[in-house]
Structure formats: C-alpha cells, structure tokens
Amino acid sequence: MSLLVLSRDRDIAVDATINWLHFYYHLPVFRVTENCDLDFESFDLEKTGEITLFNKYDKKVQLRTIKKIWIQGFGSVIKDVACSDKALGMELSKNISGDYNSVLFPLVEYLKSSKRIRFTGALEIHCSQKISQLIIAKSVGLNIPETHFVTDKQYFKKLKPVSQFITKSFDSSVFIDTPKIHISWQRTELIKKESIDLLGNNFYASFIQKRIDKKYELRIFFFNGNYYPMAIFSQNDDKTRVDFRNYNNEKPNRYVPYLLPDEIKKSLIKLSRKLKINSGSYDMIVDQGNRYVFLEVNVCGQFSFVSTNCNYHIEKDLAKYFYDQKT
C-alpha cells in the first residue's frame, strides 16, 4: 500500500509529516511536487491500475498500489524548458506543463472516484471562489462581512465611510510576471480616499468588504473531523491590524491555542460538508461584540505555524491517521 502526496516543493509541515510516516511508521510514500520532474511510463488506458508514475528521485508507484491520497497546497506540475530564447522557453514550459497536468489531474480524479481510495485535501484549482464560500457560510448560519462587488465609482462613493472598507483578491493571489513587471501579492488593504480619486468612472471589478473591528483572529486547521484552532492577537499593532501577514518581526503577534464554541464548530462542519472538503484552514474573526465572523477557507492552507505555536503536533497526528487507514 502506498500514500500519494501532492504538495508544494518547500513545505516544512509536509516534510515533517512524511518523516513521521517514513521513519516511525515505515509507510511507503510517493510525493509529487510542482518541480519534481514527474513522468509516466507508457501505458494502456484499458489497464489503469498498471499506470506507473515516477519522479527525479527514481521512485516509482503503480496506481493499483495507491490506497490513500493527501493533497496539501499542490497547484500543478511545472516543466521547465532550457531554451536560448527565454520567451520561447516560457511558452514551451507552459504548454508542456499543461500536457502533463492534463494527464495527472484525470488520474487523480479517477483515484478519488474509487471506493478503495481514502482522499484528504483538494487540488488548488478548487480551493478559491470566496464569493461561493461566503454564500454557503451564510446558509449554514455563520456571520459573514458586508461584501460588495464594485465596478463603478458612483457605487463606491455610496460606501461610507470609505475608510472602513478593505479590498482583497477574489480568489488566488495576484501573480504577474513579464520582462518588465513582476507582481506577486496577496494581502488585505484598507481603501484610501486618494486611491478612489484616481479611478475612472468604471473600472475592473473589485472585491470590497466592511472592515471588522476585531478582538482577535482565528486560524483553524482541520482534517477529517479534527480541528486545531489558534487565536492571533493582531489587533493592537498598527502593522498587523488590517492583515497579520504584514508581520512585525521585532514585536511578533501572540499566538495561542483556542477552544471553539460547539455551535461554531457544528456550523464549520456543515460548511465543510457543503463545500465537499475534508481538510483545510478556516479564517475567522471574533469582533468586539464577541461575534464569530467567517472570512474564507483555504484547502491549501498551511498548518506548520499553527502546529508549532500551539504545540498541536499536527504532523504527527496526520502521520498516525494515514498509517491507521492503511488498509
């Protein structure tokens, strides 16, 4: 029996979990990362179970031996192409990567549909859609922020006071890479009046939410019914008040374990079922009135800093779960 792991290249939490699986439980693991040089042996689609994957570490696995799949932060396979013409190399890489993903993703979906496979996590292409998440969260009884989809200045001006609104990306982070421009960003930002003044009457759609006067933030990692909540006291620092990811390394925020109220946990369980996910990370805020407000769920959410700061040992628990479910 093998465990198939699809993850980012550099993920210390996944590394630690695999160490537990390999050295403590002696469980065979085949890992696929974005740049692992994944490849396939020639195969007959009529003999799906015999399809063999292999990677740059000369490890091989046949689909029929895979009994469990864990996806943690995996986006897609990236095939770099060496080419003297950089622009051509990038285009070749994009197209070849697309071909490999068009083989890998259907095989993963095929395994997922099998009754013999236990599946944890989800592919990154299914992990965003904030608007859908908010609608479903509201339907299961969770509070959500006042949210607007804005495309014109006149609508914007009706949102008063403007200083009490924030903007963030619709789904995944912004990533633009050209010979002249490189932008990689995913942050929550306060809207400034001077920024609105620079806008034309109509503009590209923006995701706007009413800023919540928070008491503290919650990051809640979960997998298969296990919940690991952490409170983040970011509200008293000007640098982290809007987004704790604007880290203050000189005076870090305080992170502590947290006990979720039963009714909130039940609502999150309902939300997980409606979204058809069994692993990820919930972002919530507790406001000054002690209301729990749902922000979003990221099925690719990192859990290392939750595990470390709260002494949860999530990596060990994950390894034990995969080992216990080996049959």
189-190/182-185 β-pairing: unpaired
Instruction: Please tell me the distance from the alpha carbon of residue 22 to that of residue 140, in angstroms, as a whole number.
Output: 40
- The CA distance from 322 to 277, in Å, is 17
- Residue 246 CB burial class (10 angstroms; 0-12, 13-18, ≥19): middle
- Reading the block at residue 141, the tokens are 């009884």
Reported as type and span, the H/E element at residue 267 is: helix 262-275
Kindly report the number of other CB atoms within 10 A of residue 88's CB atom: 11
Q: Report cis status (omega within 30 of 0) of the bond before 261.
A: no
Helix-, strand-, coil-residue percentages of the chain, each rounded to 5: 35, 30, 35
DSSP string, 231-258: EEE-TT-TTTSS-TTS--SSSPPEEEE-
pLDDT at 175: 59
Pick from 186, 240, 241: which is nearest to 213 by CA? 241
DSSP label of 285: E
User: To 10 degrees, what angle do helices 262-275 and 130-139 make?
Assistant: 130
Q: What pLDDT tens digit does each residue of the chain (327 aa) get?
A: 689 999 988 889 999 999 999 999 999 999 998 887 788 887 776 788 888 888 877 688 989 899 999 998 888 888 888 878 888 888 888 888 887 887 888 888 888 888 788 888 876 554 456 777 888 899 899 999 888 877 777 877 777 776 678 777 765 555 566 676 666 556 677 777 777 777 767 776 677 888 888 899 999 999 988 999 999 987 776 555 656 566 666 666 788 999 999 999 999 999 999 888 889 999 999 999 999 999 989 887 778 989 999 999 999 999 999 988 755
Which three-class secondary structure state does DSSP give residue 65? Answer: helix
Measured CA distances, 28 to 5, 31, 48, 326 (Å): 11, 10, 20, 10
SS3 293: strand
Instruction: Tell me the pTM.
Output: 0.76
Up-side HSE of residue 122: CA atoms within 13 Å toward CB? 21
- Using DSSP, state whether 13 is helix, strand or coil: helix
Rounded Cα gap, residues 280 and 124, in angstroms: 11
Helix (H, G, I), strand (E, B) or coil at 46: helix
Question: Which amino acid would we find at residue 299?
Answer: V
For tokens 């198939």, the residue is 4
Distance from C-alpha of 292 to C-alpha of 271, rounded to nearest angstrom: 15
